[in-house]
Amino acid sequence: MRIGGQQMKKSENSSVFSRRRSQRMRPLLIGATSLLCMGWAGAACAQEVEPPRVVPTVATTPAEPIAVPSPPPPDAALPEVEPIIGDDEFEKAIPPISAEDDAELDRPLESIADFEKRQAAEAAKRETSGKATADAQVPEVGGVPVPALADGDAVEAIGDAPISDAELAAPLPPLENFDVEPVQFAEAEAGKDDVDIAYSVKVNGLDAADDSTDVDLADLFGDLSALYDGDGKADNTAMIRARLAADGELMQRILASEGYYDAVVDTRIDRGEREEGRDGQRRPITAVIDVKSGKRYTLSDIVINAAPTVPPNLIADNFPLSAGEPIVAQRIQGAEAAIALKLPQEGYPFAKVGQRDILLDGATGDGVYTLPVDIGKRSRFGGIETTGDLAFDAKHVGVLARFKRGDLYDSRKVDDLRQALVATGLFSTVAAEPQATGESAGDDTEYVTMLVTQQAGPPRTLAASAGYGTGEGIRLEGSWTHRNLLPPEGALTFRGVIGTQEQGLGATLRRSNAGRRDRTFELVAEATRSDYKAFNAITGRIGARVSYDSTPIWQKKFTYAYGAELIATREDDYDFDKGERSYDFYTILGLTGQVGMDRTDSLLNPTKGFRITSLIQPEGSLAGRFSPYARLRTDISGYYPVTDSIVVAGRVRVGSILGAARERLAPSRRFYAGGGGSVRGFGYQELGPKDSDNDPIGGRSVAEAAFETRYRFGNFGVVGFVDAGQVYRSSAPTFQNLRFGAGIGARYYTNFGPMRFDIATPIGRKPGEARVSVYVSIGQAF
């Protein structure tokens, strides 16, 4: 309190002092003000200005008297207040102020015009003085010029800082000579492992909802959770909170997708008791998600707003939702997709499924589901038009289509057409879409035009392949193809083969989809040179073939082929009478017929189903005299998936030549066995009858079998196999003296089929047979 009283007394003294000083200064201020007013009045009188006309706008009323403080009552006894400072003391404290002390006090005031002139003159003087100072010599500190002091201004509002260090005034070094030394920290930065915060996750209250759904909600949450994805580690607590907030929203969405629209999800972070850790005292952190699922909403009514369809119950029979079942998002989306898919398959190409509306009743837990469906006009196929960069015209598109004018529209047939267009390999992009015409097709339907938009791709292709087999050696094959040299789909292919035991050149002209869908016509001309243990040959061949074959995009259940060929070949054969090999020339004219059945799930990598192929080739060989005969062969293979990753496969081949003795057959037309596509563990064409030099000479019948167990993991696979087979002199196989080979293989699965590497050994190896045989190619062995 004392400190406060001294401050209050000092304040009162200052107030009295200021009041008395003001009384002494008042006469002087009044005089100065009077002179200033007289000057302004004279200037105003010199100007003849008409005063503005006053226009009354509002009637004035007498002003109310302003309220003033009420005086104290006459009989009030007020305390006497002693002056804080006496008058004598105050007079002594005021410095004397008079004209004798300062002559400026008696000087008359200058006019405004004179004041402005004087200010302008002083400004011009300062500008001239500044230029002179700038031209003066720059001051130096320690022999170094200091431009910051070059203004020469001795009096500044903020003076220049004194420079006592010459280095501060020195110019900066060039950038290329500037040497930066890295900062050395006294302690190494802590590693990330040292700052990670461990946490655990706990979900409460989800069991009730999880038990009532077909989906494992806990597992679904775990797969999508940010907390679980962090593996229980975070950089800081803020990161844990962010993950926890995201997981809270995720849990809300998961519950809503199963019909729990009133679910309440709360999140928090719990800290446990401090425990002794590697880095000191730490408190374990638990991210907690508390779930209150609430009631599960069910469909009380299903309303589909759509025009009548043909048949009448088309939508209802294909809408897999019913009243009373829970409102599950996946089920609802699937039902709507089913309608959007089914209507175009049943003649409604322009059907559109609208935006659903589900009205929920929180009191009862019921939901009324409403779905608007615009079925559009029921339609039939009409004509075909095409546009864009054309590979072929609309007429050939009609050859590929599996529908004709007047057929009820079916989107599956449109998809089939689109796949057929892609299978030609002539387009970079292609699309097929229905276009309304408004033309009546009868029966309350309209024709639609199929508009095919083409974008032709590069027509030329270079291809190459390589393989290796024991007894067959290395084989490299390359080809050049123009896929649309003779439109539509007239392809020309040149092929070349270079191998250790085979070389050849050939040309093929192929017309795909010739006259009808999936039919191929081809002409072949080729010349080859073969150098095998079984025979040496130089062969020329021309042939024609019509086929209905499978392709990687369109695998067919039934296939067929027929054709004719003319072969001229010079080959060597072992003459048992002479005990030596000698060359002979053969002219062979033959026909070919083949039928096949394919019930497998893949063309290059089947895992289930079976295949059957039968081949018949009536031929006539002219070598001295004409010898007619027939070659017959049947292949059967089957596949069975034991598990998702293990497949067992088996194959059987039986072949026979009827009507001619072995000696009347060209060596290249006989049957052989052994190699990568036959009996693994043996060299190419190694099995069967042999000459005195232990070289194979072929036979008139063959029997082969193979068994494989295929195990796949990812894009890789392992195969164990056992093969068996033999070639016989007789026209029918006796199934005696079968030779066996066993081995193991590796597979690498690609988009165009598996790459195969097999290694095998013969069982009961005989002299002259290799201990190990290796086979490398593309595609499974069968």
pLDDT at 73: 74
Q: Do residues 672 and 633 touch, judged by C-beta distance below 8 A?
A: no
Write out the H or E segment, with its range, that includes residue 501: none
pLDDT at 78: 74
Strand partners, 301: 368
Q: Give the span between the Cα atoms of 153 and 134, in whole angstroms.
A: 10
Q: Give the span between the Cα atoms of 496 and 506, in whole angstroms.
A: 6
pLDDT at 285: 92
For residue 79, cis peptide bond before it (omega within 30 degrees of 0): no
pLDDT at 777: 83
H-only helix segments in 237-323: 237-257, 314-317
pLDDT at 553: 67
Query: Mean pLDDT in runs of 10 for the chain (782 residues)?
Result: 34 37 43 42 41 45 55 73 77 73 73 82 75 54 53 52 60 69 57 72 93 92 94 92 95 95 94 62 84 95 95 93 94 95 96 95 94 96 95 94 95 93 92 95 94 94 82 86 94 94 94 91 96 92 94 83 95 86 91 95 89 95 80 96 95 95 90 91 90 90 96 94 96 93 93 87 90 86 84
Q: Do residues 404 and 520 touch, judged by C-beta distance below 8 A?
A: no
Q: Give the span between the Cα atoms of 14 and 90, in whole angstroms.
A: 10
pTM (predicted TM-score)? 0.64
pLDDT at 44: 38
pLDDT at 20: 41
Q: Do residues 319 and 339 touch, judged by C-beta distance below 8 A?
A: yes
Q: Which two tokens stand for residue 220?
A: 């679904």
pLDDT at 560: 95
For 586, the 3-state DSSP assignment is: strand
Q: Give the span between the Cα atoms of 671 and 730, in whole angstroms.
A: 11
Q: Give the span between the Cα atoms of 220 and 210, in whole angstroms.
A: 10
Q: Give the span between the Cα atoms of 241 and 674, in whole angstroms.
A: 68
Q: Give the span between the Cα atoms of 602 and 610, in whole angstroms.
A: 11
| Length of the chain in terms of residues written | 782
For 68, the 3-state DSSP assignment is: coil
Q: Whose structure tokens read 């190694």? A: 686
pLDDT at 135: 52
